[in-house]
Structure 1
Amino acid sequence: MTMLANGWPLALAGFFIGVLANEIFARARKGSAPRLKLKPGEDVLSALQSEIRAAKEMLEAEHEEDAANEEALKNLDEAVKRANGRLKLITKAIKRGK
């Protein structure tokens, strides 16, 4: 009987935490997928076409950004390889000097 009397506050707290977590996640889901907004006099197909066009432009911009990052990474890799070669030459010279 005492366990039942002592356990109900924990159960009630768990219930309220679950309700709050559900509300937070529901609000997060609601903001993540915006609905298609139609302009006055615009039909659904033209709105979808403009959305697809905008998505393609964003994708192309990402590809351009990826290419720039790839070039920077390539240059960095070459610099690291040159530095590694120099370090090997220095260590060989130090070992010969001993």
Structure 2
Amino acid sequence: GIYGVALGTTITMVFFKLLLQPIYTCRSIEYPLIKYYINLLVGTMAKTLLPLGCFYLMVQDKLFPTYFDIFLYALIQGLLFAPIVYFFVFNKNDRFILRAVIFGK
């Protein structure tokens, strides 16, 4: 059924995106595979999951399945997450580009 299709697609994508594609890409650009996994995947996941996990712990008792609540929590999450991304994930060049796009300078 539909669950089998979804599961089959998920397994294929996870296998390809986490195993085959990084190996091929790292060999093509001569970048160490271990460094790729540590720096890009683990670092990015830690920077992303830590604030999102804290936010979830703050609101887990207040979650209700209404569209207004989903929108409200997504808005709050975005407002909390944006400064973290700006200051801790973006480098100096990324911040410069973002300011140029937003303010047109």
Give TM-score, length-normalised by structure 2. 0.33
Give TM-score, length-normalised by structure 1. 0.35
Q: Per chain length, whose mean CA-contact separation is higher, i.e. which structure has more relative contact order (CA < 8 Å, sep 6+)? A: 2
Q: Which has the larger radius of gyration?
A: 1
